[in-house]
Structure 1
């Protein structure tokens, strides 16, 4: 049996294309698809391969060739895909490459290309052999085979990965991948002998010692009893030995799994700063390894191993995932015991808070903690609010947009029959923007001397977008839109670069928030109780988790402090 030391390199993720790897049940595979597939579908492909190899036992090179061919047919892979794969059976390696795939072996300090293009091969392995499953682009980025060979120089695989990662990340490494595998000798595990001894059959009735005494005499019955007792002792001793050896074997498996997971998590931490998608892939693989050992050994053995905590601690560190406490900042009941906040809106240092049930708009200074209010029956019907300088606005479905003037509600934008479903309101530079989910539009109303001009589409001509899954938008000069598993950025009415690499799938952003004074964009998933923090190009930076985020009704961010409203109270998360 050989101990497997693994290392992985994944280039930056492409929006149209995929690269990934599989390390499962002695299958080692890298895949590179240039175009025609999304990263999510690519991850489904590698998951499918993992599940499929778990159910199969490959006996020869022909079966391995058929296995790879069936995957290609079953998943209907697009043109431009490449595979580099191997299956280890005992001390024989079955190998296959497709298109740009390459497999190298380093033996006795020499690097040799075994196969490339569309080829298969098999051969015997030796202790300390190193195999590299990769593609032409990866080798080219390293300066050819000579450059790849120079990376070894008696280094262990983790050190090789450490050296090539910063070098390749400065180049166009999009969509490339490599898997390094070194085989080292370990002691053979003792085979369990659970089924060696048969369980003794129960006697039909209790032993009749008197009958035995009459038939065999006193001496023979004493001999029988002695043998019977010795048999019980032997059976008990063997049973304890079997249990002990099984426990030792389980511990060996746990230790090997821990070591493999530690390697993957260590690499994930190293690449996370420059390549979060690669780090997330390595974390997912670590969880797969943990689930395998859990199924094999059972929950109790798995829990004792501490593997779950190792992964959790590393994931929290990589994702900067932290459970943060919240504290009470202000209570609206200082004005009225029945006060209750529904929505909040930030402009400079001031918060606008709506209390629909009482028809009240509170203006609250974050710096002075002073409170002013306006009250109107129309506010009870409002669903959206906004604040700009000293002007307070609110939207009433079927009626239009109102402004509070001298303590009274004045309609400043009439209800428009061309509106669909207005779901959000923002005022920026004095202009009013309405997010129309029903008409897939953002309506812009320019501020004028006597109110507001007519509506115009924010989007440039010939631009069309499906906003049916959108929940919210925010403006800092550019427009950010977010909803169920989607985020977009627009500048001057045209879609702008905003590539998100969030650590979780199927994120439902209830509200997206930023301002011209903030350097970050905040996406709130209420169901998860999480706010994801990104740069203004979409790059994931960290996340904030807090119990209050699962129950709050709205949030804003001021000077990187998160303020949330829940009932009558405003809380802050620092």
Structure 2
């Protein structure tokens, strides 16, 4: 006989350095709290619980055995390790580290363990044991615990304790990195007696099975030395040879059958251990999943971090041959769906926005720029520049002819469109004809120009050969002489740069997937955070002083990533068709991203 136990956990906050959990096994309850200054608290705690779930698969019969198991499992990072095991009519309790264990019987409540130690005693149905970890112990005193019971079931008591913890003021030492009190408590309600199955303790020492590694030799010994085997062999010796041969076959078959039964038992025992570990992992994944949903609106970054931890924790089980495959697959489905939603990954189908061949037969777009509500588009082979009003989708030919042969980059600003050609930079006014000479002539200081951008009336050129950003300041009668934007001691490698955007700072996309940021001529810090998978291929970057985000186009991955200007992840838009854009501009008023691909302009609606 043993007691049936009803277990309800109370869990505090967790962080990389502080983690706590309550584990309910078929014949044991474990409360653990870990503190790891190196940030591996959850990993260490999961390893400890996995070890205990294996060692407690066959419950210990004595307090001394339980003490040995607990001592072997506790580590330097263990704040609390408490284990409760029912054996017959007794309850064995062992506490390592800090914490408390209380017993409530009827209206009386006593602290049976106030420090590391062990105790055992008779229990009766209706008793409640409360195990409190080290960080919860200062918050949950016996005087505060007693009124919370009121003959309620364990689950209701757990809810009351949770509210009491969160209402009580905490010191800095009692609060983890999540802003919630760290720690755990297990409420164990003792139920009715239940009959034992075949107990391993009722077997002889030769039959005792503790694990697959050393069991089979004992099984064989037990078979060969058992009374059944001796009696069978004795009968064989007493009968004539012919009949003896039949008895030998029967005896051998009996022995093989017995071995097979024992082997199946070992296999079932091993499966039980594996399933116990699997249930532990699923319980931890469920906790992280629930916590992520609770903080999703208040702290999206923390929510995504928890879901990534849940996914990584579950990953080893998805490729295992566990007998709980259905439960694993369902949990994996829930985590994947929640992570996709939390990561704000939007599946989109870019739609055709504008086709310049409607304005000129055979025309295509090689370069696009944007300012206000005007998109400038250049067709190098067609020697034509187009201006498109985005809100109305009205387009016109802004300029064309031999003057614009080889036009490669376009940058609208105000009522003027600037274009880069082999002869220099030309300006195209909103009305009237462009001048016959460039406003900025080709300079022998230029190397290989990769992009042209206008900001505050000034023009900027990205030179990948010289590794410089050339700046031309707007004046009353045109533009200044060439100037360097970067300080002389700033020498970045821009040989693989792909694009240029300016919002006050200068942003440069690199074909390795990096985005470089420069402010006032010096390199600044920009590092995307929380993005999965990270950007790894060539990118084109866009921003301006009207938008609050950085848009990173990764053509190879068929996606547009959106981050804050501090690098914090916001969203990403992915598509599956054959579209491979080469450039992106964004209209804040239309909430659209315009993608240049194959000479056409497509759009994606932004959330």
TM-score using structure 2 length: 0.61
- Aligned to 1:475, which of 497, 502, 508? 502
- Aligned to 2:478, which of 448, 451, 459? 451
Whole-angstrom CA distance in 2 between matches of 1:361 and 1:218? 108
Equivalent residues in 2 for 1:188-267, closer than 5 Å: 196=215, 216=240, 220=244, 223=247, 246-247=270-271, 249-267=273-291
User: Residues 162, 365 of structure 1: CA spacing in aligned structure 2 closer, same or farther, 3 A cutoff?
Assistant: farther
RMSD: 5.8
Whole-angstrom CA distance in 2 between matches of 1:355 and 1:267? 53
- Aligned to 1:385, which of 395, 402, 410? 410
Secondary structure (helix, strand or coil) at the match of 1:266 reads: helix
- Aligned to 2:183, which of 166, 180, 183? 180
Q: Which runs of 5+ in 1 are unaligned?
A: 11-18, 33-41, 69-83, 96-103, 116-120, 140-144, 201-211
Shift of 1:267: 1.6
Secondary structure (helix, strand or coil) at the match of 1:432 reads: strand
CA contact (8 A) 1:6 1:260 kept: no
Secondary structure (helix, strand or coil) at the match of 1:547 reads: coil
The equivalent of 2:225 in structure 1 is: none
The equivalent of 1:284 in structure 2 is: 308
Secondary structure (helix, strand or coil) at the match of 2:474 reads: strand
Whole-angstrom CA distance in 2 between matches of 1:401 and 1:392? 10
2:2 aligned with 1:8: no
- Aligned to 1:522, which of 548, 551, 570? 551
The equivalent of 1:77 in structure 2 is: none
The equivalent of 1:547 in structure 2 is: 576
Shift of 1:432: 1.4
CA contact (8 A) 2:14 2:178 kept: no
- Aligned to 2:99, which of 95, 102, 105? 105
CA contact (8 A) 1:351 1:363 kept: yes
Q: Which moved more, 1:449-458 or 1:252-261?
A: 449-458
The equivalent of 1:568 in structure 2 is: 599
User: Residues 331, 229 of structure 1: CA spacing in aligned structure 2 closer, same or farther, 3 A cutoff?
Assistant: farther
Whole-angstrom CA distance in 2 between matches of 1:89 and 1:437? 64
Secondary structure (helix, strand or coil) at the match of 1:454 reads: coil
Whole-angstrom CA distance in 1 between matches of 2:517 and 2:144? 41
Secondary structure (helix, strand or coil) at the match of 2:472 reads: strand
Secondary structure (helix, strand or coil) at the match of 1:311 reads: helix
CA contact (8 A) 1:507 1:525 kept: yes
Whole-angstrom CA distance in 2 between matches of 1:20 and 1:270? 21
CA contact (8 A) 2:375 2:389 kept: yes
CA contact (8 A) 1:30 1:177 kept: no
Q: Which runs of 5+ in 2 are unaligned?
A: 24-30, 53-67, 84-92, 104-108, 121-128, 149-156, 201-208, 221-235
Q: Which moved more, 1:293-302 or 1:532-541?
A: 293-302
- Aligned to 1:316, which of 326, 333, 340? 340
The equivalent of 1:35 in structure 2 is: none
2:453 aligned with 1:426: yes
Q: Which moved more, 1:254-263 or 1:385-394?
A: 385-394
The equivalent of 2:535 in structure 1 is: 507
Whole-angstrom CA distance in 2 between matches of 1:536 and 1:549? 30
User: Residues 526, 123 of structure 1: CA spacing in aligned structure 2 closer, same or farther, 3 A cutoff?
Assistant: farther
Secondary structure (helix, strand or coil) at the match of 2:342 reads: helix
CA contact (8 A) 1:31 1:177 kept: no
Shift of 1:561: 1.9
The number of residue pairs the alignment matches comes to: 496
List per-residue Cα deviations over 1:13-62 (Å, max 9, x = no partner).
xxxxxx64578999964456xxxxxxxxx87x7899899999999x9999
Secondary structure (helix, strand or coil) at the match of 1:291 reads: helix
Shift of 1:175: 9.3
- Aligned to 1:130, which of 123, 126, 132? 132
Secondary structure (helix, strand or coil) at the match of 1:411 reads: coil
CA contact (8 A) 2:13 2:19 kept: no
User: Residues 262, 472 of structure 1: CA spacing in aligned structure 2 closer, same or farther, 3 A cutoff?
Assistant: farther
User: Residues 438, 4 of structure 1: CA spacing in aligned structure 2 closer, same or farther, 3 A cutoff?
Assistant: farther
Q: Which has the larger radius of gyration?
A: 2
Shift of 1:163: 5.3
Whole-angstrom CA distance in 1 between matches of 2:165 and 2:446? 56
Shift of 1:446: 2.7
Q: Which moved more, 1:184-193 or 1:240-249?
A: 184-193
User: Residues 52, 182 of structure 1: CA spacing in aligned structure 2 closer, same or farther, 3 A cutoff?
Assistant: closer
The equivalent of 2:561 in structure 1 is: 532
Shift of 1:567: 0.9
Whole-angstrom CA distance in 2 between matches of 1:161 and 1:500? 40
User: Residues 174, 220 of structure 1: CA spacing in aligned structure 2 closer, same or farther, 3 A cutoff?
Assistant: closer
The equivalent of 1:411 in structure 2 is: 438
Whole-angstrom CA distance in 2 between matches of 1:540 and 1:49? 29
Whole-angstrom CA distance in 2 between matches of 1:151 and 1:515? 58
Equivalent residues in 2 for 1:263-274, closer than 5 Å: 263-274=287-298
Secondary structure (helix, strand or coil) at the match of 2:439 reads: strand
User: Residues 272, 396 of structure 1: CA spacing in aligned structure 2 closer, same or farther, 3 A cutoff?
Assistant: farther
CA contact (8 A) 1:551 1:566 kept: yes
User: Residues 304, 265 of structure 1: CA spacing in aligned structure 2 closer, same or farther, 3 A cutoff?
Assistant: closer
CA contact (8 A) 1:500 1:539 kept: yes
CA contact (8 A) 2:451 2:461 kept: yes
Whole-angstrom CA distance in 2 between matches of 1:89 and 1:291? 29
CA contact (8 A) 1:321 1:543 kept: yes
CA contact (8 A) 2:20 2:182 kept: no
User: Residues 542, 358 of structure 1: CA spacing in aligned structure 2 closer, same or farther, 3 A cutoff?
Assistant: same
The equivalent of 2:86 in structure 1 is: none
Whole-angstrom CA distance in 1 between matches of 2:402 and 2:188? 80
